[in-house]
Structure 1
């Protein structure tokens, strides 16, 4: 039997008082990997349930695993629909357990227009290699087109993922090429493609960039700042707005006074502005300066300096009124840092660096000393903002300058800024982890992938599951489904990037690995499928 399952779903639409039939062709297919290849045909699932949500009411249809069709009726024309597919095993006592999961991003239904949709499914709580659908474009790829590390990744408003720049490495680990290429990952068809202009030519950045920032704005465009532009270490000078919809894809903004940098951090704040802080200059010296982009008037303005120069730090937005972000940890010429600085725009706040006075368009940095600092100095760590900044989680990182020692700590910082508390441990310490906030439908967790100690890449995929007992937050490590992690799978790597898609799967892209042949950046794309059980049907 073919590993792909197709279902022809006949949908009845009501428009202008007249019912019309519209055909939705649905292709459900598995991710690549021994845990996924046969899930539609190996009898591990008794039936598949397809849910169409986003309209006036959800539609739920069940299909036997040997079947190929069904009907949704009375579906109104509209926007923002989603399809999810779940496979269930029915036990002798009648209870069901989830076997596989997958879903689409949002799509629109237009009267009379046929739709072809795909759902890539994978064994729940497991990772697989990305596989394109049968509806893929002729040049659609399963993995990144270019090998990339230090690239920009931005989830767009339509659910696709924009990939910009990055670098390819030689066997010694030195930068071989800095890319100016741009790719799009389309979860609907599970494919990577070059972004093309109106004449069918690949869109390219105005200058090559690696270790830059690419931050999506509220209007759907992307702010691109900084980065390395040449293998020899030259830095990109400009700051641009990238519009993936075109026809003018990239336009410079006036960023007078912006000091070129790489390996900095950038975050969109809760007021819609973007904060850029720290990083390193052309001489690889850590920086104190910070800047802010305001989409309302398209201005790029200097902000107050950090008290301590930082690279290898984290920067996270928080939900706390005029206190908009925190910068934590990092490294500079003086050593590793445990301090945390708070970015504030509160005019009544004192204690900013240089006695600067904050106001709404000018923020500055304050330190709360030992009241708010990490349990130990760390750099190259990962961080996640939970629930739109009500909580920041710091994970792993290096505890020595040469990366040979690493932390396994999980630290939680509440937006109350009343301390940084140890809230769990990783079974294996490491730095340059790929992390993303995830959800099983109701249970929040953090997916942690890859990492390294020294120059040894780590083959890691674990979940940190959040619990809250009487206000005490804890993160507990859980392994994935038994058999999901195998010899040689998934790929061992560090500095990959993880991003949660609109269907709650998490895609992990690129990064660096090392073998007997030396270092290499990678084009590998892997997809994590959560144990996504709906709270109700």
Structure 2
């Protein structure tokens, strides 16, 4: 048996049991090697390692009597195995060779047929089972976490893992290898002054570790981060605090985290608080935002990673507080909501890449209740967007009414807008689409007792089936209220909540915490 940094890895032949390992106060699980059918080409092996280190007192598997190991993948029937937790060892399910295999591990209070419920859950990244038994066997990593709970990652000693430094109005980008790049942002001092940061860091949600990467070429907050084909990330625009106030940034840079390189890009317009989205060809559309002197930026532009060049977009999009998102498998990009500085814009715009640039396409739809600083997110699948929350003033939030409604945008041949579910009234909320079509909304800005304060509400929106109305479930509130934070769906379906600003109306605190929430599965 070989000990690793954050867990144990063991190996065994067919039918051989493994010993147990114990960590202080509770029993840790060690999974054994599973033997794979080689489809006539001999036996192949893979091994799995569970990571269970969290910043908490109670064990991950508290209340669990059974573990279920289930492997799915293309061109194979799902295979699973239930093992009593008291057994302490397991032989993994036998699966055929091939790519795209995913191992899911669940902790149950009892067998499902006896009414057992899920108390812990973890999923691996996609892995390949080799054809040959003599080929190097993959090690499959699974982070096991309690469901329906906010957990902070921790070390084997129980120490909490945090960001390398506090940050708000930063970006969080899920990379192809499952890690999350957190970049830029600002920090608020005790005197109320903001300082823009240029640092960046990588969080590994499996091992629960944070590693610094080289700083950005320019300090920036309220920028956009867009993952490009091949795993690179375009960080564009933003603003930097100076003695003259917040100045919009015209530069961008393409980060290749795997290679450790950065390429500078010059935008056509300095912009902050803008929107960006990538189409199926990897081209990025940048629209709107705040420019020099606080003016709304009308000029839209695009970036093509194939050429490394920025190109003009002839159609102006003078908006701020809007959102952009790819639709129809990335063939189009939708731009929804926002204000031109004078009035709210109800038109829903669609762009497609044609003739070397982005051009408007299709018949436009109109919002029923125009708004800005709302959250745009797929709802119930990729072919329907939900635009939730926000406020009803074209200008400053101090003049606004927070909206407790949402609207559904169906971007078909003839785009349609319909009323969506009610939400808690707030703006700047963070919203993410879970793999099963549900949506989580977290935090934001709300009005309370005469002050604008950070919010702690969390909601789970469930699409209706067979024409039924969507359901709204209130979840446990965040332990720290926050706005200008990031929320990211990880490869295992969990949600990473990072940083943000805790403003209670009297004091502003920039947060450095990392919190992971694992939704309970539908089945």
Shorter chain as normaliser: what TM range?
A: 0.7 to 0.9
Partner of 2:325: 316
> Does 1:281 pair with 2:327?
no
* Pair 1:469–1:238, CA change in 2 (3 A): same
> Does 1:382 pair with 2:375?
yes
Partner of 1:67: 87
Measure the CA separation in 1 of the matches of 2:376 and 2:357. 25
> Does 1:361 pair with 2:356?
yes
Partner of 1:294: 304
Partner of 1:457: 454
Q: Is the 8 A contact 2:237 2:270 kept in 1?
A: yes
Partner of 2:239: 228
* Pair 1:27–1:478, CA change in 2 (3 A): same
* Pair 1:399–1:2, CA change in 2 (3 A): same
* Pair 1:319–1:519, CA change in 2 (3 A): same
Q: Is the 8 A contact 1:233 1:282 kept in 2?
A: no
Q: Which runs of 5+ in 2 are unaligned?
A: 1-23
Mapping of residues 478-517 of structure 1, within 5 Å = 478-480=473-475, 484-485=476-477, 489-515=478-504
> Does 1:12 pair with 2:35?
yes
> Does 1:447 pair with 2:437?
no
1:366 deviates by 7.2
Partner of 1:148: 167
Partner of 1:66: helix, strand, or coil? helix
* Pair 1:341–1:17, CA change in 2 (3 A): closer
1:117 deviates by 3.3
CA RMSD across the alignment:
3.2
Mapping of residues 239-254 of structure 1, within 5 Å = 239-247=252-260, 249-253=261-265
Partner of 2:150: 128
Q: Is the 8 A contact 2:53 2:155 kept in 1?
A: no
1:292 deviates by 1.0
Q: Which runs of 5+ in 1 are unaligned?
A: 196-202, 346-358
Partner of 1:194: 212
Measure the CA separation in 2 of the matches of 1:194 and 1:363. 36
1:272 deviates by 2.3
Mapping of residues 72-91 of structure 1, within 5 Å = 72=92, 80-90=100-110
* Pair 1:20–1:97, CA change in 2 (3 A): closer
1:297-347, CA deviations, whole angstroms, 9 ceiling, x for partnerless residues? 33210102335x21111112222897x2222221343143333333245xx
Partner of 2:6: none
1:85-120, CA deviations, whole angstroms, 9 ceiling, x for partnerless residues? 212233898233323222232345674568473423
Q: How many residues align?
A: 484
> Does 1:169 pair with 2:188?
yes
* Pair 1:462–1:72, CA change in 2 (3 A): same
Partner of 1:331: helix, strand, or coil? coil
Partner of 2:52: 29
2:408 to 407, 412, 426: 412
Measure the CA separation in 1 of the matches of 2:182 and 2:442. 19
